[in-house]
Structure 1
């Protein structure tokens, strides 16, 4: 005797199709390009960008202070000329200490 499954009635067919549609919608909502996984990824990116932005704001503030000092303080101009441009005044002697190559 062979087993033959009974055909599904109208309610069971509707329920099965509804569940299949629901599962498909959930899958699309989670894994699509605009889905939940992408939103979580963007939240991590947003946090990194906020930290980077804070760092840039601090750098800008430091540069604004340096610009203000360069506009008003001649000693600041001299300091920058000596440190960044390696300039010396006429008549000054520059000594450079070169480490011995065998010294760690």
Structure 2
């Protein structure tokens, strides 16, 4: 009767080890609860960044369309960014005073 008892103890130890291994994988191993939670946060951050970039792309598309179709917008950008002037115009540059 001593043998079945020791067999039961060994079986219980084996089951306990299996449960410990499974628990380790759930909480700390690859694909663990913590890792999945971190990936969900990263996915949410990436989706927010994608939405922001989509909005920025739409704004740039509108600007490109305006530059292609409206000569006044093109002239305004050329004056602003490149300092271009029309013939017969005089360019005045105003330099602000430096604070000393």
Deviation per residue, 1:79-100 (Å, 9 max, x gap) = 2112222323332222223232
Which deviates more, 41-50 or 91-100? 91-100
State the distance in 2 between where 1:31 and 1:85 align: 58
Which deviates more, 69-78 or 12-21? 12-21
Q: Is 1:50–2:61 an aligned residue pair?
A: no
SS at match of 1:39: helix
TM alignment of 1:24-103, pairs within 5 A: 24-90=21-87, 91-102=89-100
- 1:5: which partner in 2? none
Give the Å deviation of 1:60.
0.7
Structure 1: runs of 5 or more not aligned: 1-7
- 1:18: which partner in 2? 15
Which deviates more, 67-76 or 26-35? 26-35
Q: What's the C-alpha RMSD, in Å, of the aligned pairs?
A: 1.7
Structure 2: runs of 5 or more not aligned: none
State the distance in 2 between where 1:32 and 1:79 align: 59
